[in-house]
Chains A and B, each alone.
Chain A
């Protein structure tokens, strides 16, 4: 008796195919039904922070890092909202589709593999991040704080940030027994990321050891790209920053895929 060759080993290389497109498109079509509410939901918080802290603290500190504090914190908020939007999508929304509604179960009965579904969901977290990035960027432009076409490059940056944190969210999704589980990610990952990546103040203000640790945070690398772009400069060491973000994204995606296979293909 010839044993059947296993095709879906948990840690197998991702089997990528164009079949992911309809799954990504499905999410887009749902989003279109609630687009305005969704965008407002994603940008309300960061906008409030930007305005309150920007004008409030901004009046005390004046310029920071060569830009007005409103622009400084606004740029931080762009990155932060890309991070939160993608994390949310990778956790709560993906969990609804995977676990609560069993949408993924339905999809993988069609000629779409689980690898396609995870890829689609991952790219979708990046897509949603671009949408909130665009919305906040637009507000910053309208308020007159960004005056360079170079700032447009913050959009693809938002996509990469989305992929990084969306993949991390999908790792959590694959492990989650219920929605409450995601709180850990907020407490242990997102909050420290927010406080120590230079969203509210330059990382250089922190003790050297803390700044060194901050150097490992992906959000810091995103901000190191975004701020110069907002000022109309090409960021220093841009390739390094992008590489760090992509490395985090790739590793998290691979882990998320493996854990999702372990969860569903049994």
Chain B
């Protein structure tokens, strides 16, 4: 059953009434949260269907983590409603958290325990009986590729191993919804790919995932649907492909060099639908890149890269190029 929903969710359209209420795992409506005078989340709405991987994208300070903390019932919203795994939050947040797994942004494994003990102790916070945990833990360790690290101390693990253990820990209660807050920040490429493989296995097994990230390749690989948020508001939502089609020209030519600004003003802007210059790179967006490419071919010493548009282009278009801290 979950499979068909996952497939139909892929066809996407946020307004399509394909999901019955029971298939909405997380429903956020008109969420608001203020810190002092600053409103960090400003009327955010989205919902996540069973079996999908929903990516919440946004620059630093866009309100992603605040939104997650509201969903978990750790902070009280100033307005709006949240329903997670069918339970109203924050009113019954504890009940909701029984059926949700969380991978936090910063590792908080328990350094006083071994790998196995970490899972055992964390399981005890869910009130799970020891016998059940003892049965579950070997499978979780296998899943995390930590079968041979069972009795190792946390301090001896690499960054990637710690993340995998944190992911395994989030599964200890066999959650309906898995929430991951920037799960691969700070990991090397090998470690990131291992995490992604793990998440794909979970999706194939029918789990629902909410993922925040600012890595566009991560979102592109995993998310069946995305929401781009900025300044606490939703700016776009949909399947990655549909979003790209709707917002960004399909082809990109990146032109590099000192003189790129002059070239862009003289020629680039006439040949592409849209040109953005950032430092010594001109990003030229076009449906048909041939005129651009022919022009560039005649210029000796110009370096350029022709590629299809990706989520990063979408993200930059929607949230701008200025730096966020």
Contacts and interface: CB of A to CB of B under 8 A. Distances in A.
Interface of B: 30, 35, 72-82, 90-91, 93-95, 97-98, 102, 104, 106-113, 117, 121-122, 124-127, 169, 173
Interface of A: 1-8, 19, 22-23, 25-26, 29-30, 33, 101-103, 105-113, 265-266
Contacts of B94: 19, 111-113
Given A7-B93, A265-B75, 17 more contacts: A4-B79, A4-B80, A7-B91, A25-B124, A26-B124, A30-B112, A30-B113, A102-B108, A109-B97, A110-B97, A110-B125, A111-B95, A111-B97, A111-B98, A113-B94, A266-B35, A266-B75
Nearest to B90: A7
Contacts of B112: 30, 33
Contacts of A107: 125
A8 B111 CA distance: 29
Nearest to A5: B91
Contact of B104 (A105, A112, A113): A105
Contacts, number: 87
A106 B90 contact: no
A111 B80 contact: no
Contacts of B30: 1
A142 to B, nearest CB: 32
**A-side interface mostly:** loop
A103 B125 contact: no
Contacts of A2: 81
A8 B82 CA distance: 16
Nearest to A117: B125
Q: Which 6 A-B pairs have the closest CB atoms?
A: A102-B108, A110-B125, A106-B108, A109-B102, A22-B124, A30-B112
Nearest to B166: A106
A266 to B, nearest CB: 6
A107 B107 CA distance: 12
A35 to B, nearest CB: 13
A255 B95 CA distance: 27
B126 A103 contact: no
9 contacts: A2-B81, A4-B77, A26-B121, A106-B169, A111-B97, A111-B98, A112-B94, A265-B74, A265-B75
